[in-house]
Amino acid sequence: MDANVQVREVIKDRVKTIDLQLQAIQRRLLQSVDDKLAAVRSDLQALAQLVPEHQFYRYTRLYTSLLQTLCFVVAWQTYLASETVVTPEQVAERIGLPVELDHEIAESHIPLENLLHGLVQLPSELMCVRCVNCAAQQDCDRPLRIRAFVQELYSGFQLLNLKNDPLRRHYDVVKYDAKKIEEVVCDIKLRQLSRQS
């Protein structure tokens, strides 16, 4: 049992360092963070090595929120770059671990729920950072695009049969974010601020 405790301690330490790095990244999300992401990626590889074979889920509680944040960062990056929803393949490539989709993966991987958690945090970030700022800065086309993007995400989430778990709660929040974005878009259209109106 002591060996188990030791492994947990080491994993916790590593998770903490990666967490700090991720926090630094999150604060500077609007700028390019590729180099920091590379550092996180190599740390994550080292972490993956620590987990004994076949026991990925035994320690999963220690790093699940880390993976969620990481997925969110990658999804955000993808949005900034191309305004599309990130695909699992892209996530796997950026982070360096495979994403578990339809077949089971024995080694360390990213469970699908973590990817969903990452995606579900996008709308509120978009709402806070982008929508309102854009409108304030007279960039009035962007909110319209944001609305369409969030709608796409939201309708995707509506397809899921969510039970009463954290993912469900985040999903409920998305509803309110979508509504707020709708309001911003409404404001813009009412005043015919958009170049397209």
Partner 1 sequence: MAPHHQDHDNDRPSKRVKVMDTTDAAETTPATTVLPTVALFQLARGHLDAQWNQREAVIKQSREITRESKKLIVMLQRHDPKVAFAESEMATFPAAKAKVLQMLSKLAAQFKSRQEFHRYSSNVKHCIQEFLEAVAFHHFLEFRRMIPFDDARLLLESLGLQLMPQDYIMGISDVSGEVMRFATNAATKGNTQWVEASRTYLQDFYHACLSLDASFNENDMNRKIDTTRESLLKVERLAYDLAIRQCEQKMFRKDQDVVMQDTTAQ
Helix extents (H) in 28-111 = 34-50, 60-82, 88-95
Locate all alpha helices (DSSP H) within the chain, ordered by sequence.
Answer: 2-27, 34-50, 60-82, 88-95, 112-120, 122-125, 132-136, 142-158, 166-190
Kindly indicate which of the ranges 19-27, 31-39, 40-48, 83-91 contains the residues binding partner 1, using the contact rule CB under 8 A: 83-91
Distances (CA, A) of 6 to 1, 19, 116, 175: 9, 20, 31, 43
- The single residue among 148, 166, 183, 187 that binds partner 1, judged by CB under 8 A, is 148
The minimum distance between CB 52 and partner 1, in angstroms, equals 11
Residue 25 or 178: the one with the smaller Cβ distance to partner 1 is 178
CB-CB contact of 91 with 74 (8 Å): yes
Least distance in Å: CB of 94 to partner 1? Answer: 16
Beta carbon nearer to partner 1, 3 or 136: 3
The footprint of partner 1 on this chain (CB under 8 A) covers a number of residues equal to 40
104 contributes a contact to partner 1 by CB under 8 A: yes
Inter-CA distances, 182 with 110, 127, 175, 178, Å: 33, 10, 11, 6
Q: Report yes or no: 73 and 37 within 8 Å, Cβ to Cβ.
A: yes
Where in 53-82 is the site for partner 1 (CB under 8 A)? 54-58, 60
Q: What residues make contact with partner 1 under the rule CB under 8 A? A: 1-2, 4-5, 54-58, 60, 85, 87-88, 101-102, 104, 106, 112-113, 116, 144-145, 147-149, 152-153, 155-157, 159-163, 189, 192, 194, 196-197
